[in-house]
Structure 1
Amino acid sequence: MDRFKYIEINSKIMFGKPVIRGTRIKVELILEKLANGETIDDILVAYPHLTSEVIHAALTEYQKWMKK
């Protein structure tokens, strides 16, 4: 079973970088946008097929993964 519900890591997708599951949106891109002052609402406007719950959950999973 996959250990991530909202993040996918696949060498055939975006060179194996962590992405939001079912998309080609890198978690790194979301982090960069937030670091540059964009809000989650701004991100949702740019990527309307995402939800705030998915973004929050993916970032939480990514943070846990990075601590390992």
Structure 2
Amino acid sequence: MKKLTRITFDPNVMGGKPCIRGMRITVGMVLGMLASGHSRQRILDLYPYLEPQDIDESLAYAAWRVEEVDVPLGSLPA
């Protein structure tokens, strides 16, 4: 996967959730708007400081996250 340069993580911004370029716009918010039927253009109109590449990277980040596999470390002794 190519390096995502527009997705940032900062514990001081939105509690460390993945955000767009350090702004208080989370990847989840962008994805939620797309999932609820908003077009890319509508999102860009509502948030003029976003760029089309921000939406592209949000989708790429989401696709990467769903492919992650959680590996159990084992059970704890009773």
**Coarse TM-score class (shorter-chain normalised):** 0.7 to 0.9
Q: TM-score, normalised by structure 1?
A: 0.82
Comparing 6-15 with 55-64, greater Cα deviation is found at 55-64
Q: TM-score, normalised by structure 2?
A: 0.72
Unmatched segments (≥5 aa) in structure 2 = 69-78
Is the 1:18–1:26 contact (alpha carbons within 8 Å) kept by the matching residues of 2? yes
Unmatched segments (≥5 aa) in structure 1 = none
Is the 1:8–1:18 contact (alpha carbons within 8 Å) kept by the matching residues of 2? yes
RMSD, aligned CA: 1.5
Residue deviations 1:27-46 (CA, integer Å, cap 9, x gap): 00011101110011010001
Is the 2:9–2:18 contact (alpha carbons within 8 Å) kept by the matching residues of 1? yes
**Higher RCO (CA < 8 A, seq sep 6+):** 1
Larger Cα Rg: Structure 1 or Structure 2?
2
* Consecutive aligned runs of 4 or more in structure 1 exceeding 2 Å deviation: 65-68
The structure where helix makes up a greater share of residues is 1
Partner of 1:67: 67
Is the 2:6–2:57 contact (alpha carbons within 8 Å) kept by the matching residues of 1? yes
Q: How many pairs does the alignment contain?
A: 66
